[in-house]
Chains A and B, each alone.
Chain A
Amino acid sequence: DTGVSQDPRHKITKRGQNVTFRCDPISEHNRLYWYRQTLGQGPEFLTYFQNEAQLEKSRLLSDRFSAERPKGSFSTLEIQRTEQGDSAMYLCASSSGDRYGYTFGSGTRLTVV
């Protein structure tokens, strides 16, 4: 297992377009998290899955954002009608729920032009 994989690493899109990111967690991890990081800030929580159930969503996750984790494996994060303010690094992390911290992926950097 090579850790948490995120695809793509970079995405440039025009304002108004839809984008979708994928995260493949560590296979034995049942928890999956999405975070967003903007310049000069720490990662901010977006949403969290335990297996296929989406258990929590941040108020940061507007109705243009949707996340899924079918069958409790990989997850996708879709942003509809992108805005320039959506430009950020989108980080995925997975965890087995123990107290040893998450494992983060390398992130997807989104630039909306």
Chain B
Amino acid sequence: DQQVKQNSPSLSVQEGRISILNCDYTNSMFDYFLWYKKYPAEGPTFLISISSIKDKNEDGRFTVFLNKSAKHLSLHIVPSQPGDSAVYFCAASIGNEKLTFGTGTRLTIIP
């Protein structure tokens, strides 16, 4: 039962353009959503989060949008930089407890 889904296993974006990573969830009890970035042989690194009471959160080049009615969130990176190339995981939690992760999207930024 995959409660958090990232349907795009990979995405390639030209440097300087916008990268949009998508995530869908099925459990309406999730009240907190996070995005993590992962390089090979390292643990996931926290990027940005959003509470279910908001629909947008912005931090520098990263913006997360939440559409609760569609059970959908997205991460926008603008402008995309070569160092953004990594695997991005969407995660969700109920009451700030354990995280349920998606399967990840490998982002490649083309110079």
Chains A and B belong together in one complex: yes
| Chain A residue with Cβ nearest B39 | A106
Cβ-closest chain A residue relative to B104: A42
A99 touches B43 (CB 8 A): no
Which of A33, A35, A43, A100 is within 8 Å of B46, CB to CB? A100
Whether A42 contacts B98 in the complex (CB less than 8 A), given A4-B43, A104-B45, comes out as no
Contacts of B82 in A (CB 8 A): none
Contacts of A41 in B (CB 8 A): 103-104
**Interface SS of chain A: helix, strand, loop or mixed?**
loop
Contact check, B42 vs A42: say whether CB atoms are below 8 A apart: no
Which among B4, B36, B43 has the greatest number of chain A C-beta atoms within 10 A?
A: B43
Give residues in A with beta carbon < 8 Å to B. Answer: 4, 33, 35, 40-45, 48, 56, 91, 93, 97-107, 109
Closest CB pairs A-B (n = 4): A42-B101, A104-B43, A101-B46, A45-B98
